[in-house]
Structure 1
Amino acid sequence: MPGRVFTVAQQKGGAGKTTLAAHLAIAWTQLGFTVATVDIDPQGSLSRWYDVRAEATGGNPGFAHARITGWRTQAEVEKLTRDHDVVVIDSPPHAQTEARIAVRVASLVIAPVQPSPMDLWAIHPTLDLAKQEKRRLLMVLNRVPPRTRLAEGLIAEIQALIDPPAVELADTQVGNRTAYAGTLLTGLSVTEAARKTQAAAEMQALAAEILERAG
């Protein structure tokens, strides 16, 4: 059975795409899945983290990684799904063709969105892209400030975007926590270097929820 493909996509830069992709990849390996990550973002941040991780782990990062250009994405992903349970794609924020291919090959599109009006407005191109490619999309509220209740207007904006089963909102929210960035600097993840923190619990819960929703 071919592996599941999760494309982390958001046309707005700075939404936390790469951070989410890295932490989820490790969370899935810890659940016993064979994982591959694919970096098609020209910035190459996921690839840089992978290099740091490879050095920090003595050349045993625990999962496969490929950095490729957009036109090769579909063939590479199809090859990786033959040997891996989960393939995680970090897609580019602005390159329309490459982002479209990454969405097209996805089992489920994961769209991180920060709880602000600007970010909610900016997610519409990603929603449209998933709709055009007939792919289900899961919005994940990311960098949610602690002890903050979302304003009623913002909640209404979020609810207006939900259109099951095409568009869903994850029950798990990801907080605005320094542990996410801090652990990546060392080549690790929160579920490795900060295992007893709320950040680790959030990421484990999100990884499990995504798998359940993907079926």
Structure 2
Amino acid sequence: MAKIITFAQQKGGSGKTTLCAHVAVELAQRGHAVALLDSDPQGSLGRWFMTRFERDSGIKGDLTFSTASAWGVSYEASKYKNSHEFVLIDTPPKIDSDLKPALKVSDLVVVPVTASQVDLWATEGVLDMAGREGKRPLAVLNRARAGTKLTQSVKAALSELEAEAAEAVIANRVAYAEALGAGLGAAEMPGAAVAAAEIAALADEVLASLD
């Protein structure tokens, strides 16, 4: 039975799609069969996957992609329950009734939070909605700048929210955007060893949260 992981955050630019794609590649590189569902009308995850599909055949890993309307997520996810180990869902940057179906079917909700007070405020709404669906999300500090007081204060604040605060911190690295633009994950991007290690650490926590 596939485990369903939803990436959600009401504030745009938090890095939902970026983390979803990189974690998907990391899991696929480890030999897992991964399905991606894009319910965000912007379609960025689909553009990334198409770029990936058009690359040379040397890419490793079992990745499947499809789109889904907000209310069709449950049906689309069910198609992969016996054929894949993981289904990763990218959602629109909003919190309303459209997000509920994805939260409801999720085994884990991952909430990216950039190192800003505004993002921290925005996170509260997502956590509240997830809580009403009986979920305790994994909050991930994303696009962080090492050594800054702001990053330290936001990371400390995460532990006080109604969520598990991930130990893994994703830094503000050009490698993540470059990899996505090339249809790759950090684990596949030449010269992105540090970024790949960060994603690997996050993937470890995701898997541990699903146990």
Q: 2:99, 2:138 → 1: CA distance? A: 16
Cα distance, 1:156 vs structure 2: 4.9
Counterpart contact for 2:139–2:158, Cα < 8 Å: no
Matched, 1:185 2:184: no
Could you state the TM-score of these two structures normalised by the residue count of structure 2? 0.93
Q: Which residue of 2 aligns with 1:76?
A: 76
Superposed CA deviations along residues 31-81 of structure 1, whole A, max 9, x for unmatched, are 111000000001000001010100014497731101121221101112212
Unaligned runs of 5+ in 2: none
Q: Would the aligned equivalents of 2:32 and 2:62 in 1 still touch at CA under 8 Å?
A: no
Structure 1 residue 96 displacement after superposition: 1.9
Alignment of 1:47-196 (within 5 A): 47-58=46-57, 62-94=62-94, 96-150=96-150, 153-161=153-161, 163=162, 167-194=163-190
Structure 1: segments with no counterpart, 5+ residues: none
> Any idea what SS the aligned residue of 2:40 has?
coil
Distance 1:83 1:25 in 2: 16
**Pair 1:155–1:91, CA change in 2 (3 A):** closer
Distance 2:58 2:188 in 1: 17
The amino acid of 1:62's aligned partner reads: D
Match in the other structure for 1:9: 8
Q: Distance in 2 between matches of 1:151 and 1:179?
A: 20
1:184–1:136: structure 2 CA closer, same or farther, 3 Å change rule? same
Distance across 2 between alignment mates of 1:70 and 1:154: 30
Aligned equivalents of 2:156, 2:176: Cα separation in 1: 28
Question: Any conservation in 2 of the 1:194–1:200 contact (CA below 8 Å)?
Answer: no
- How many residues in Structure 1 have an aligned counterpart in Structure 2? 210
